Amino acid sequence: MKRLISLKPTEKKKTERQICHRLDRATSGVLIFAKNYETDIEFKKNLIDCDWKKEYICRVIGEFPDGEISCNQPIGNLSPSMGIQCIREDGKDAQSIFKRLWTNGKESVVVCKIATGRTHQIRVHLQYLGHPIISDQIYNSEVWGKTKGKNADYGKPLEQLREDVQNSHKSSLWREYTSPDYVEKMLKWSQDDTIVPESPDLLVNDRPNFDPICLGCNVTYKQPSMDHFRMHLHCWKYETARGLFEASIPEWAKEETKEEI
């Protein structure tokens, strides 16, 4: 995604390339750009009007049932600050239709068609069905309960679930260590009347790369594994009035041979 964004012009003009829709972080597949402002508006209006047909491929835990499986559970915010969703009665209508492509008994590859576009819809519905995406760092976790949120059985009130989920993803978990003399320096500087505050008019590009007072500049963070940048969820096909946009099937979605199993 960083590479794609870097392709866009830096100046904000109506003629620049625009990303027509979003993908969850770590999701691969189709991403449509508009070459001009008018096309961008057209695509986004059609998206809002649900005139897009969307198909995804995902690899999930367990032996997914054969046949067509529909999930219509409403989806709502669990943690608005983190964008994490859950099944809840007061949520928004959501509809996903799943069909198994193949299974090895332990994992399954499933095609999903969505009629709505709720945040994390496929991931939340698969969690509800008891088949979370295998590499989903958020929804494939026992923080959601012993069954990982199957049938929305979290085993705890939503308030407690919210707290537990937020605590399992808070930024402080990624801190390796803080500079040992940071607290000492801050105490010293807090009593120093000669320090001049930074000008509020200072532009971002004119700020120094390192600020001795900034906590973030004095913290070393853990290096995340590649699993945090990759999820077995692939945007396969988008069909619009302008035509069909299709990405190739990823290697992990291709049926395994007996030797591989």
24, 40, 49, 192: the active-site residue = 24
> Which of these ranges, 45-49, 59-63, 107-111, has the smallest mean pLDDT?
45-49
- CA-to-CA distance for 111 and 162, rounded, in angstroms? 30
Res. 32: pLDDT tops 70: yes
Catalytic residue list contains 136? no
Q: What is the pLDDT of residue 147?
A: 96
3-class SS letters over 43-63: HHHHHHCCCCEEEEEEEEECC
**133 or 217, higher pLDDT:** 133
Determine whether 101 is exposed, middle or buried from the number of CB atoms within 10 Å of its CB (0-12, 13-18, 19+).
middle
Mean pLDDT of 12-40: 75
If DSSP codes are grouped into helix, strand and coil, which group holds residue 156? coil
User: Based on the number of CB atoms within 10 Å of its own CB, is 167 exposed (0-12), middle (13-18) or buried (19 or more)?
Assistant: exposed
pTM: 0.75
Q: Which domains does the chain have, with CATH numbers?
A: 53-169+231-253 (3.30.2350.10), 172-192+213-225 (no CATH)
Q: Which two tokens stand for residue 13?
A: 């003009």
> pLDDT value at position 46?
73
Kindly report, residue by residue over 41-58, the tens digit of the pLDDT.
887 777 666 677 889 999
CA 97 to chain centre: 20
- Answer yes or no: are the C-beta atoms of 161 and 144 closer than 8 Å: yes
> Do residues 132 and 120 make contact, with C-beta atoms less than 8 angstroms apart?
no
Q: Rounded to an integer, what distance in angstroms lies between the CA atom of residue 53 and that of residue 73?
A: 20
Between residues 105 and 50, the one the model is more confident about = 105
Q: Residue 49: phi, psi to the nearest 5?
A: -80, 5
The highest-confidence range among 65-69, 167-171, 253-257, by mean pLDDT, is 65-69
User: Cα-flanking dihedrals φ and ψ of residue 126, to 5°?
Assistant: -65, -35
Residue 178: C-alpha distances to residues 40, 166, 171, 173 (Å): 45, 22, 13, 12
Lowest mean pLDDT among 74-78, 92-96, 225-229: 225-229
